Structure 1
């Protein structure tokens, strides 16, 4: 497994430990679970900076987490879900030593009306994963 995939798998495992349901690369289901929903999108590794001797590729990979809550208390639930994600990142900024640093951007939530149901509150949380590898495919 490549370092990129290993890091994304570790990030997904950390998100899966939260009370919200975590998915990876899935479409938004018809129903949002009561504790909320997180969908990890692999994102883009971007163009690496390259150093020679030894040859090393330094990435700032941009992944995304779609955070969604639904219900009467969605503002409070959304805030709590974002705080839980932040606590996971603060507890281990290197994902067990797999990457150099992980940093999330502040979400920009939106309320989405749903016909015949309670509105959704959702946001995309962009996450930068900084890591270095000797092989861009490995």
Structure 2
């Protein structure tokens, strides 16, 4: 696996340890699990900074976590879910030495009505992954 894929897989594994269901690159299912739902999107690596000796590409890759809860107590459930993501990332901001640094940005929550069911509360949480590779395709 490339460093990029290894880092994204490690981030997904970290999210999978949370009580919420963690998916990667999937569509929003018809039903949101009672503990919440997280969907990791690979995002964009962006333009790297380059050093020439030795050749290295330094990325600030912007992945995204979609966090979704549903139910009557969705505000408290959402807050708990967001706090658990922050705690999981702060345990080891290098993902076991795979990254230089992992930093989540603040979510912008929205309430989404669902016809015939409890509303959803959701947000996209940008996660910046700082890492370097020797090859842009690696």
TM-score range, shorter chain: over 0.9
1:27-62 CA distance string (max 9 Å, x none) = 000000000000000000000000011000000000
**Matching residue of 1:30:** 30
Structure 2 spans left out of the alignment, 5+ residues: none
- TM-superposed CA distance for 1:82, in Å, is 0.3
SS in 1 for 2:6: helix
1:41-100 CA distance string (max 9 Å, x none) = 000000000001100000000000000000000000000000000001110000000000
**Matching residue of 2:118:** 118
The CA distance in 2 between the partners of 1:66 and 1:102, in whole Å, is 17
**Matching residue of 2:97:** 97
**Matching residue of 2:61:** 61
**Matching residue of 1:137:** 137
SS in 2 for 1:13: helix
Structure 2 length-normalised TM = 0.99
- TM-superposed CA distance for 1:136, in Å, is 1.1
SS in 2 for 1:95: coil
SS in 1 for 2:103: strand
The CA distance in 2 between the partners of 1:90 and 1:130, in whole Å, is 15
The 4+ residue runs of structure 1 with deviation greater than 6 A are none
Structure 1 spans left out of the alignment, 5+ residues: none
CA RMSD of aligned residues (A): 0.4
The CA distance in 2 between the partners of 1:137 and 1:3, in whole Å, is 9
**Matching residue of 1:107:** 107
- TM-superposed CA distance for 1:137, in Å, is 1.0
The CA distance in 1 between the partners of 2:116 and 2:11, in whole Å, is 34
